[in-house]
Each structure stands twice: as C-alpha cells, then as structure tokens.
Amino acid sequence: MSDSAARDQAIQHLRRLEAEGVWGVRRSEPAKQEVKLATNDSDLQTFSSPTAGGQSPSGESLTLETLAAAARDCQLCRLCEERTNVVWGVGNPDARLMFIGEGPGRDEDIQGEPFVGAAGRLLNKIIEAMGLRREDVYIANTVKCRPPHNRNPAEDELAACRPYLMQQVDLVSPEMIVVLGRVAMQAILATDAPLGRMRGRVHEWNGIPVICTYHPAYLLRTPEDKGKTWADMQAVMQQLGIGQQ
Ligand code: SF4
C-alpha cells in the first residue's frame, strides 16, 4: 500500500470511529485489587487498582506508523495552522508503560518529538529513577500540535485529536498509563476535579489502569511537589513489578 493510500485509510478509519463515538476497542473489566504503598503521604496509602491485563488490539490493519503518517497532514482542528511539526509520539511500540502529557511546547513543536525540553529532561530523570529508559516506555500527548503561546488545548481540539490518542493507546496496549498534569487528566478521565484529588488512586480508562501525577513542567516550577510524583511512580513500579518492592 502506498503512503497516501495508507494515510487515506487511517483518516477514514479515524472519521468512522469519531462518527460512531468509538474511542477505543478495549472492553475488558479486570478484577480489582488493593495495593498498599510505601509513602509518607497518608492520602496515598491505598490505591484501588485493577490487575494488569486486557484484550489484544482491535485487529485493524492500522499501525502506529500509518497513523503517524495520517496525522502528519492532519487539519482536523485549528492547531494545524501554527504548528511546525505534528508531534506524534515516541518510544517502545510494545511498552508496558505509557506516559500521556497535555500537548507539545515550543521545543517539541520544533523537534517533532514529545517531552524534549526542560520538562522532557525531568521526565527522563523520573523514568530513569524508576529503573527504566526513555526508549522502554511510550510517550504521547493529548493533542499532537502545539497550542499557540502554550495555551491549554480547547475542548474541540482535544476532541478532534482524541481518536489519534485512543488508537495509539490501543496499538501500544500498555499495562499502565501515567497521565501528566491536570489538563491531560481532565481530558482523559472526563472530569473537572483538581489533580490533587485524583492522585493517590488508580483510575481506569478503556480497561487500562491510569495513575495521574504532576506534569514535569509544573514540577520545575514547584520542586517541593517532586516527592508526591515520586510516590505516584512508586505505585506504578509496584503495579508493574519493577524496581525495589
Ligand atoms: S491537534 Fe490533532 S486533530 Fe488537531 S490538527 Fe493536530 S493532529 Fe489534527
């Protein structure tokens, strides 16, 4: 199949999903289990977590590469107007752990890769502290194009880009997702609750356990909250059985 045919196929597929209101294909209902955490923050002592697992991807012929090609020329929302690059995603396509942030910033827009600026370097340190490498995980954003002046993405922009994210998640099929920051958390979990209230619990999104934590850009401005993010990452490590128990 030629590149343009693959792109057309992916775009048609995404539009069909959008029209049908189908944002993901995972339908598993994993059993719940309680996980006790080693943390000083009493609010974080108990995570109610689904066990890892889930169904296999949809069986569609789409791949991450095909979808990335489709997104390269995407004009489904106004964020296409000022972007330099579509910032698709990066990392291991079979990652057990996926990080999802809000949207590209200036450095990401220029380089076409998520989390490459100062916030990206801090995310790399967090990943390494977990005993992983950046290339072990998969990293993406809720919107693939930079909102002008780093404003928050608007609701219609998040909705327009959501099929891409859902397909990324479906194709990577991670055992766990870490959502970085309030904007991504509210968009993904469909809530307007503050991040502080959503931390400390394992949520579920299309059958995948989700933990919310602070965005690295916030942690650069508020380093006193780094310990809270580390507690969140310890929960992730415990769930995935990595690092020290
Ligand atoms: S943000 Fe997403 S939906 Fe909007 S133009 Fe970029 S790729 Fe398309």
Buried/exposed code over 215-232 (b: 16+ C-beta within 10 A; e: otherwise): bbbbbeeeeeebebbbbb
For the stretch 55-112, pLDDT in tens is 333 444 689 998 899 899 999 999 999 999 999 999 999 999 999 999 999 999 999 9
For the stretch 121-137, pLDDT in tens is 999 999 999 999 999 99
pLDDT tier for residue 14 given thresholds of 50, 70 and 90: low
Q: How far is the CA of 42 from the centre of ligand 1 (A)?
A: 40
**Closest ligand 1 atom number to CA of residue 143:** 1
Q: Which residues line ligand 1 (CB under 6 A)?
A: 71, 74-77, 79-80, 86, 143-145, 157, 160-161, 164
- The domains found in the chain, sorted by start residue, are 34-53+85-240 (3.40.470.10)
Q: Is the pTM of this model over 0.85?
A: no
For the stretch 148-177, pLDDT in tens is 999 999 999 999 999 999 999 999 999 999
Q: Nearest C-alpha to atom 2 of ligand 1 is from which residue?
A: 161
Sort residue 241 into left (φ over 0), alpha (ψ -120 to 50) or beta: left
